[in-house]
Amino acid sequence: MTSPTLTTTRSANSSSTAVLDRPTTTGNATQTDRQSRVLEAMKAQYRIDQQVKFLHLQAEADTLFQQLQVMKQQRQASGLVDSAN
């Protein structure tokens, strides 16, 4: 499962821009590292209530992604059963 990571950049006028990037690799350690970096970046720039909203949305997106993957696997499995008959 992959989750978006938050990347921030600073321009010459010291304003910051947050961008969500999809990670290219997966794995528990890599995902944990990314989540830690996201949390650290958020701590410096966003209010607590905004961080909570973001984390809830991220968790909801992860759940929906997992459900989509399960549905795809079920569809593929049913396609294999249909083609075998």
pLDDT, position 34? 87
> How does residue 73 score in pLDDT terms, banded at 50, 70 and 90?
very high
| Gap between the Cα atoms of 11 and 53, Å rounded | 26
- Between 14 and 56, name the one with better pLDDT: 56
pTM for the whole structure:
0.45
Q: Give me the residue spans of the domains in the chain.
A: 5-84
The answer to whether the CB of 38 falls within 8 A of the CB of 5 is yes
